[in-house]
Amino acid sequence: MDAILTQAFEWFTKNGTPGWLIMPAILFGMCVLVVHSWLVRADPAGIARSVINSEKRRLEHMLTQEYLNRETRALIERELRQRSLWKLTRLFNHRLQDLAVLFAERYNVRASYLSLWRTWLSEREGKIHFNRTWYMICLCLSGLNVFISTTLLIAAGIIIFHGLSTGRAMLLMLLMTGFIWLPWLMLTLVPLPGMTRRMEAQLAVFNSQLPTANDEEQAAA
Protein backbone atom coordinates (compact mmCIF):
# COMPACT_ATOMS: atom_id res chain seq x y z
CA MET A 1 0.00 0.00 0.00
CA ASP A 2 2.87 2.37 0.84
CA ALA A 3 4.46 1.66 -2.54
CA ILE A 4 1.20 2.49 -4.33
CA LEU A 5 0.86 5.78 -2.47
CA THR A 6 4.50 6.63 -3.20
CA GLN A 7 4.11 5.98 -6.92
CA ALA A 8 0.84 7.89 -6.99
CA PHE A 9 2.55 10.88 -5.35
CA GLU A 10 5.38 10.74 -7.90
CA TRP A 11 2.81 10.61 -10.71
CA PHE A 12 1.04 13.68 -9.31
CA THR A 13 4.35 15.52 -9.21
CA LYS A 14 5.24 14.63 -12.81
CA ASN A 15 1.84 15.50 -14.28
CA GLY A 16 1.55 18.88 -12.63
CA THR A 17 -1.86 20.56 -12.46
CA PRO A 18 -4.02 17.76 -13.98
CA GLY A 19 -2.67 15.29 -11.49
CA TRP A 20 -3.21 17.56 -8.51
CA LEU A 21 -6.83 18.20 -9.48
CA ILE A 22 -7.88 14.89 -7.93
CA MET A 23 -5.67 15.31 -4.85
CA PRO A 24 -8.49 16.94 -2.80
CA ALA A 25 -10.73 13.96 -3.55
CA ILE A 26 -8.06 11.54 -2.35
CA LEU A 27 -7.45 13.59 0.79
CA PHE A 28 -11.18 13.59 1.43
CA GLY A 29 -11.24 9.83 1.06
CA MET A 30 -8.41 9.51 3.58
CA CYS A 31 -10.35 11.72 5.98
CA VAL A 32 -13.37 9.47 5.53
CA LEU A 33 -11.24 6.45 6.42
CA VAL A 34 -9.92 8.19 9.53
CA VAL A 35 -13.41 9.21 10.62
CA HIS A 36 -14.70 5.71 9.93
CA SER A 37 -12.00 4.14 12.09
CA TRP A 38 -12.86 6.60 14.86
CA LEU A 39 -16.55 5.79 14.53
CA VAL A 40 -15.84 2.09 14.91
CA ARG A 41 -13.66 2.53 17.98
CA ALA A 42 -15.40 5.40 19.76
CA ASP A 43 -19.02 4.30 19.13
CA PRO A 44 -20.41 7.85 18.74
CA ALA A 45 -23.93 6.45 18.47
CA GLY A 46 -23.55 5.19 22.01
CA ILE A 47 -22.19 8.57 23.08
CA ALA A 48 -25.15 10.34 21.46
CA ARG A 49 -27.57 7.96 23.16
CA SER A 50 -25.90 8.64 26.49
CA VAL A 51 -26.27 12.40 26.02
CA ILE A 52 -29.93 12.08 25.04
CA ASN A 53 -30.64 9.68 27.89
CA SER A 54 -28.90 11.97 30.38
CA GLU A 55 -31.15 14.83 29.26
CA LYS A 56 -34.17 12.56 29.60
CA ARG A 57 -33.09 11.53 33.09
CA ARG A 58 -32.63 15.18 34.03
CA LEU A 59 -36.19 15.98 32.94
CA GLU A 60 -37.56 12.92 34.71
CA HIS A 61 -35.71 13.95 37.87
CA MET A 62 -37.30 17.40 37.67
CA LEU A 63 -40.73 15.76 37.87
CA THR A 64 -39.82 14.42 41.33
CA GLN A 65 -39.30 17.93 42.68
CA GLU A 66 -42.34 18.79 44.76
CA TYR A 67 -42.01 22.58 44.52
CA LEU A 68 -42.81 22.68 40.78
CA ASN A 69 -46.24 24.00 39.88
CA ARG A 70 -48.72 22.19 37.66
CA GLU A 71 -47.91 24.25 34.55
CA THR A 72 -44.19 23.49 34.84
CA ARG A 73 -44.87 19.78 35.27
CA ALA A 74 -47.10 19.79 32.21
CA LEU A 75 -44.35 21.48 30.20
CA ILE A 76 -41.77 18.90 31.31
CA GLU A 77 -44.11 16.03 30.47
CA ARG A 78 -44.76 17.53 27.04
CA GLU A 79 -41.02 17.83 26.43
CA LEU A 80 -40.51 14.18 27.37
CA ARG A 81 -43.36 13.16 25.11
CA GLN A 82 -41.92 15.11 22.18
CA ARG A 83 -38.53 13.48 22.69
CA SER A 84 -40.12 10.03 22.65
CA LEU A 85 -42.11 10.83 19.51
CA TRP A 86 -38.99 12.20 17.84
CA LYS A 87 -37.26 8.84 18.37
CA LEU A 88 -40.32 7.12 16.94
CA THR A 89 -41.12 9.34 13.93
CA ARG A 90 -37.73 11.00 13.25
CA LEU A 91 -39.60 14.28 12.82
CA PHE A 92 -38.24 17.30 14.68
CA ASN A 93 -41.39 19.38 14.19
CA HIS A 94 -43.51 18.54 17.22
CA ARG A 95 -46.66 19.65 15.37
CA LEU A 96 -46.13 16.85 12.86
CA GLN A 97 -45.35 14.06 15.31
CA ASP A 98 -48.89 13.14 16.34
CA LEU A 99 -50.09 13.42 12.75
CA ALA A 100 -47.25 11.15 11.60
CA VAL A 101 -48.28 8.52 14.15
CA LEU A 102 -51.87 8.63 12.86
CA PHE A 103 -50.62 8.45 9.27
CA ALA A 104 -48.44 5.41 10.02
CA GLU A 105 -51.33 3.64 11.74
CA ARG A 106 -53.74 4.46 8.92
CA TYR A 107 -51.52 3.12 6.12
CA ASN A 108 -49.64 0.43 8.09
CA VAL A 109 -46.20 1.89 7.40
CA ARG A 110 -43.19 2.49 9.62
CA ALA A 111 -43.53 5.33 12.09
CA SER A 112 -40.52 7.03 10.49
CA TYR A 113 -41.95 6.73 6.96
CA LEU A 114 -42.65 10.47 6.55
CA SER A 115 -39.15 11.39 7.74
CA LEU A 116 -37.91 10.79 4.18
CA TRP A 117 -39.76 14.00 3.21
CA ARG A 118 -39.37 15.93 6.47
CA THR A 119 -37.50 18.76 4.73
CA TRP A 120 -40.65 19.59 2.76
CA LEU A 121 -43.30 18.81 5.37
CA SER A 122 -45.03 21.26 7.69
CA GLU A 123 -48.24 21.53 9.68
CA ARG A 124 -51.02 23.84 8.56
CA GLU A 125 -54.39 24.06 10.29
CA GLY A 126 -53.99 20.65 11.84
CA LYS A 127 -53.03 18.92 8.58
CA ILE A 128 -49.78 17.80 6.97
CA HIS A 129 -48.65 20.11 4.18
CA PHE A 130 -46.15 18.98 1.54
CA ASN A 131 -44.20 21.71 -0.27
CA ARG A 132 -44.02 20.18 -3.74
CA THR A 133 -42.40 23.25 -5.33
CA TRP A 134 -39.41 23.13 -2.99
CA TYR A 135 -39.22 19.35 -3.43
CA MET A 136 -39.04 19.69 -7.23
CA ILE A 137 -36.26 22.28 -6.90
CA CYS A 138 -34.30 19.92 -4.66
CA LEU A 139 -34.98 17.03 -7.05
CA CYS A 140 -33.53 19.00 -9.98
CA LEU A 141 -30.51 20.02 -7.90
CA SER A 142 -30.04 16.39 -6.88
CA GLY A 143 -30.08 15.29 -10.53
CA LEU A 144 -27.57 18.01 -11.39
CA ASN A 145 -25.39 16.86 -8.51
CA VAL A 146 -25.46 13.26 -9.79
CA PHE A 147 -24.43 14.45 -13.27
CA ILE A 148 -21.59 16.66 -12.03
CA SER A 149 -20.31 14.10 -9.51
CA THR A 150 -20.33 11.31 -12.10
CA THR A 151 -18.62 13.53 -14.67
CA LEU A 152 -15.88 14.42 -12.19
CA LEU A 153 -15.44 10.75 -11.30
CA ILE A 154 -15.10 9.80 -14.97
CA ALA A 155 -12.63 12.65 -15.58
CA ALA A 156 -10.59 11.58 -12.57
CA GLY A 157 -10.66 7.99 -13.86
CA ILE A 158 -9.32 9.06 -17.26
CA ILE A 159 -6.46 10.93 -15.59
CA ILE A 160 -5.68 8.04 -13.24
CA PHE A 161 -5.72 5.33 -15.93
CA HIS A 162 -3.53 7.55 -18.11
CA GLY A 163 -0.83 7.88 -15.47
CA LEU A 164 -0.90 4.63 -13.50
CA SER A 165 -0.86 0.96 -14.33
CA THR A 166 -4.21 -0.75 -14.78
CA GLY A 167 -4.15 -2.58 -11.45
CA ARG A 168 -3.21 0.45 -9.39
CA ALA A 169 -5.64 2.66 -11.29
CA MET A 170 -8.50 0.24 -10.67
CA LEU A 171 -7.67 0.09 -6.97
CA LEU A 172 -7.62 3.87 -6.70
CA MET A 173 -10.88 4.17 -8.64
CA LEU A 174 -12.55 1.60 -6.38
CA LEU A 175 -11.45 3.59 -3.33
CA MET A 176 -12.72 6.85 -4.79
CA THR A 177 -16.02 5.29 -5.85
CA GLY A 178 -16.66 3.47 -2.59
CA PHE A 179 -15.51 6.11 -0.13
CA ILE A 180 -16.25 9.39 -1.93
CA TRP A 181 -18.65 9.17 -4.87
CA LEU A 182 -21.18 6.66 -3.52
CA PRO A 183 -21.43 8.08 0.05
CA TRP A 184 -21.80 11.59 -1.38
CA LEU A 185 -24.70 10.50 -3.59
CA MET A 186 -26.37 8.69 -0.72
CA LEU A 187 -26.18 11.83 1.41
CA THR A 188 -27.54 14.16 -1.28
CA LEU A 189 -30.20 12.08 -3.04
CA VAL A 190 -33.86 12.94 -2.45
CA PRO A 191 -36.81 10.49 -2.49
CA LEU A 192 -37.69 9.32 -5.99
CA PRO A 193 -40.70 10.88 -7.77
CA GLY A 194 -42.61 7.58 -7.79
CA MET A 195 -42.35 7.21 -4.02
CA THR A 196 -43.25 10.86 -3.59
CA ARG A 197 -46.37 10.64 -5.76
CA ARG A 198 -47.58 7.68 -3.74
CA MET A 199 -46.95 9.54 -0.49
CA GLU A 200 -48.79 12.62 -1.81
CA ALA A 201 -51.81 10.51 -2.77
CA GLN A 202 -51.89 8.94 0.68
CA LEU A 203 -51.43 12.35 2.28
CA ALA A 204 -54.33 13.86 0.32
CA VAL A 205 -56.70 11.12 1.50
CA PHE A 206 -55.35 11.34 5.05
CA ASN A 207 -55.83 15.11 5.25
CA SER A 208 -59.33 14.90 3.80
CA GLN A 209 -60.36 12.54 6.59
CA LEU A 210 -59.05 14.75 9.39
CA PRO A 211 -61.56 16.97 11.19
CA THR A 212 -61.42 20.65 10.24
CA ALA A 213 -61.50 23.59 12.62
CA ASN A 214 -65.19 24.17 11.80
CA ASP A 215 -66.01 20.56 12.62
CA GLU A 216 -64.29 20.89 15.98
CA GLU A 217 -66.17 24.10 16.75
CA GLN A 218 -69.49 22.47 15.86
CA ALA A 219 -68.66 19.45 17.99
CA ALA A 220 -67.76 21.70 20.91
CA ALA A 221 -71.02 23.64 20.50
Residues forming beta bridges with residue 127, ordered by sequence position: 124
Number of H helices, E strands in the chain: 11, 2
Q: Within this chain, do residues 48 and 124 fall inside the same structural domain, yes or no?
A: yes
| Prediction pTM value | 0.66
| Cα end-to-end distance, the chain, whole Å | 78
For the stretch 90-141, pLDDT in tens is: 888 889 999 999 999 999 999 999 999 998 999 998 899 999 999 999 999 9
Q: Within this chain, do residues 66 and 102 fall inside the same structural domain, yes or no?
A: yes
List average pLDDT for each run of 10 residues in the chain, which is 221 residues long: 55 53 58 54 49 72 81 86 87 90 94 92 92 93 89 87 82 84 83 94 93 55 48
**Of the candidates 6, 23, 19, the residue with the CA atom closest to the CA atom of residue 180:** 23
Q: Within this chain, do residues 90 and 135 fall inside the same structural domain, yes or no?
A: no
How many residues comprise the chain? Answer: 221
Residue 142 domain-assigned? yes
Instruction: Give CA–CA dist 101/114, Å, rounded.
Output: 10
Residue 10 domain-assigned? no
Cα Rg of the chain (Å, integer): 25
Q: Within this chain, do residues 124 and 191 fall inside the same structural domain, yes or no?
A: no
Residue 117 domain-assigned? yes
Q: Within this chain, do residues 191 and 138 fall inside the same structural domain, yes or no?
A: yes
